[in-house]
Structure 1
Amino acid sequence: MYGNMKALCCFALRFFLLVDVSLVLGDLVSPQNVTLETLNTHYVLQWEWSPQTAINSTVTFTAQSLAKYKAHKQVHKQDWQSVCVNVTEHRCDFSNAGLHYFGMFLLRVRVNTAQKSSRWVQIEFCPDKHAALGPPSNVQLNSVKEDLEIIISDPLSSTNQSMKELSQKMYYLIQHWKKSDSSQESKTVLKTESNVVILSNLDKWTEYCVRVQSCCAFYNKSSSFSDTLCKQTGGDTSYQQIVVYFLLSLLFLLVVLFLWFCLYKMRKIIKGIFYPSIELPVYMQERWSSDSDMPKLLHPESESVCDHLVLNSVETPDTEAIVTDALISQDTVMHSRHGSGDSGVYSTEEDSGHTHITRTDVQMEGLCKTKTDHSEETHDRMHELCV
């Protein structure tokens, strides 16, 4: 009887303890659909949670990690490392949490409010086994004569370390095919562990496409393919290609000449519009083209030239005296010449014709030359006579 009462009391005590725990923790729903998104050494814990159970409260989340071997010993159960504390997002980044690539870890998350917390939701994670492998960080495709050269860069970790140093037995699968035929049957797959690969035995002057995939044989992991790259192979230049290149060069030259001719014509038209050429009248061009018709300036001290001399009788005593003196001087000269055997008419013969100089012409010429030896008043009067 006493034993039954003791057992009943223990049962009641345990019942009330469970009720108290449910009052504290039971109101908040734990996170659901906890998953881990990974790529190489990038690890992001994600979860879902419905806010219906805590409408009037501010809700946050806490995520922690622990090495799995510590979970078996009670003394190490308090060594959980908090990576995200009271965050509002439904994700937590464990990339820099110190998770060794070949270790085993426990990751957990719960919901927090100011008064309550939900139960922990825990998952197990082994990076070497569960982390996804990424494609090559870079792929280069070069044409080397008739072959194609592929240069592959290893995928990198969060600390820029090559994944070949972490992932066991890692290799690459290379797919290449003619760009004109992209069917699945035409794609050739090449397996290699090298980072530099030469594709040979390809068709000349043909464009090929290439993409690369990272693979791990230990856990049979494979990445997505890299971006597709296409390149044309080389080869010897054929006669048809030489003819085509020549025709293209000739066409280019003709186009350049045509454009130059158009620009030249446009330049002349524009110049004619803005800078028109104005020609002088014909009679002005004829006058100015001859040097004999050009106006000349006479030096004040030079001899006067008289084409025609017209003598008019002026009833001025001084003028008549001057004319008489000039005639007398001329008669004296002429008589002296006549006395020496010359006649009163002189003639000179030239190749181009005959020129007759009469006594009257000699007298007029001497009269015009003599006027420069007189006074200023006499000079002015003789100038009037000459004119």
Structure 2
Amino acid sequence: MKALRCFSLLLSLSVVTALGDLSRPQNLSLQTLNTQYVLHWDWADDQQTAVNGTLTFTAQYLSVLQSRKAAHKQKWRTVCADVSERHCDFTDAGLNYWGIYYLRVRANTAQWFSSWTNISFCPDRDADLGPPSSVKLTSVKGDLEIVIADPLSSTNESMKTLAPDMHYLIQYWKKPEDYKKGKVLKTKNNVVTLSELDGSTWYCVRVQSCCDFYNKTSVFSDTHCTRTEDGKCSDCEMDYRWIFIAGVTAAVLVLAVIGYIIYKRNSKAGLIQKRDDWRDDGE
């Protein structure tokens, strides 16, 4: 009986040793943009793969609030189960943007699995902020009008709903000058007009998103360039033409009225003169 117990103990120790020999994933990192989160890791011990069989990975998450409970009450949620890739997409896992989580991953074979490797993650603090989803630049009567569309979450929601302090830095410069010589405008507005610009001049614009609370700054949007119109009013020539036509028309109407009045007066004077002449002839 004692021999059987010793054999069982030795077998248990060998199992523990085998489990410990399976390397755990290393170098956990997150590739993020707005509310898109992809966990990456390394696992480079190919010799172990050959010995232990086909290797897969399992990735899970747990909120910090859940982690404060007793171990048997903690509910780790599996996002990727037995995947061969060395990354796992947590975008649709339901992570709250303002929450704090632990993410973990382990290596698996048909019989064994490694210990877990953990990383903490707070989307509001750690996720990268994306640039505007679009920037439109239009020349309007000598000014430049910029229409900025907010960066979008994975569900096409404006990131301003998740980060209310978000604003934009607009950088604009004359072409062909370098952007380093340009000016910078800070704004929370989605429609901005750049005025006091040189007429008939090419300007380039690019925009980046910013959040002050965690000092987040996105990459710049694509650069957009357009040419300002000549002067503050590109339609002035057309306006003057219509003003001239309206003025001539008014003058013609005034002259017509004056002519009609003179004609009526002359006609009336002629009738009076004829009446007087008839009277004289009758006498």
| TM, length-normalised to structure 1 | 0.55
CA change 1:215–1:49 in 2 (3 A) is same
CA contact (8 A) 1:36 1:44 kept: yes
CA contact (8 A) 2:166 2:211 kept: yes
**Structure 2: distance between partners of 1:70 and 1:48:** 27
CA contact (8 A) 1:24 1:117 kept: no
Superposition pairs of residues 106-145 of structure 1, within 5 angstroms:
106-145=102-141
Shift of the alpha carbon at 1:76? Answer: 5.8
Shift of the alpha carbon at 1:145? Answer: 1.3
Superposition pairs of residues 253-264 of structure 1, within 5 angstroms:
none
TM-superposition CA deviations, 1:237-259 (whole Å, max 9, x none) = 9xxxxxxxxxxxxxxxxxxxxxx
Identify which of 21, 36, 41 aligns with 2:35: 41
Runs of at least 5 residues in structure 2 that lack an aligned partner in the other structure: 1-8, 233-283
Partner of 2:195: 200
Partner of 1:96: 92
Aligned residue for 1:235, secondary structure, equals coil
TM-superposition CA deviations, 1:139-196 (whole Å, max 9, x none) = 0000001100000000000000100010141100000000121151x21000000000
**Structure 1: distance between partners of 2:144 and 2:131:** 20
**Structure 2: distance between partners of 1:236 and 1:217:** 38
Specify the code of the residue in structure 2 equivalent to 1:177.
Answer: W
CA contact (8 A) 2:206 2:223 kept: yes
**Structure 1: distance between partners of 2:70 and 2:11:** 23
Aligned residue for 1:83, secondary structure, equals strand
**Structure 1: distance between partners of 2:62 and 2:213:** 25
CA change 1:194–1:101 in 2 (3 A) is same
**Structure 1: distance between partners of 2:12 and 2:215:** 46
Specify the code of the residue in structure 1 equivalent to 2:145.
Answer: E
**Structure 2: distance between partners of 1:143 and 1:187:** 18
RMSD: 2.1
**Structure 2: distance between partners of 1:54 and 1:65:** 25
Shift of the alpha carbon at 1:20? Answer: 4.7
Specify the code of the residue in structure 1 equivalent to 2:175.
Answer: K
CA change 1:20–1:197 in 2 (3 A) is same
Identify which of 20, 32, 41 aligns with 2:26: 32
**Structure 2: distance between partners of 1:17 and 1:154:** 61
CA change 1:16–1:168 in 2 (3 A) is farther
Shift of the alpha carbon at 1:216? Answer: 0.2
CA contact (8 A) 1:41 1:127 kept: yes
Identify which of 166, 172, 178 aligns with 2:168: 172
Aligned residue for 1:65, secondary structure, equals strand
Shift of the alpha carbon at 1:34? Answer: 0.6
| TM, length-normalised to structure 2 | 0.75
TM-superposition CA deviations, 1:346-380 (whole Å, max 9, x none) = xxxxxxxxxxxxxxxxxxxxxxxxxxxxxxxxxxx
**Structure 2: distance between partners of 1:155 and 1:20:** 54
**Structure 1: distance between partners of 2:77 and 2:121:** 15
Higher strand share: 2
CA change 1:99–1:179 in 2 (3 A) is same
Shift of the alpha carbon at 1:78? Answer: 4.0
Identify which of 59, 63, 66 aligns with 2:62: 66
CA contact (8 A) 1:70 1:76 kept: no
**Structure 2: distance between partners of 1:182 and 1:156:** 30
Structure showing greater radius of gyration is 1
Percent identity reads 57
- Bigger RCO of structures 1 and 2 (CA < 8 A, at least 6 apart): 2
CA change 1:119–1:205 in 2 (3 A) is same
Alignment length, in residue pairs?
Answer: 224
CA contact (8 A) 1:43 1:93 kept: yes
**Structure 2: distance between partners of 1:146 and 1:182:** 22
Aligned residue for 2:111, secondary structure, equals coil
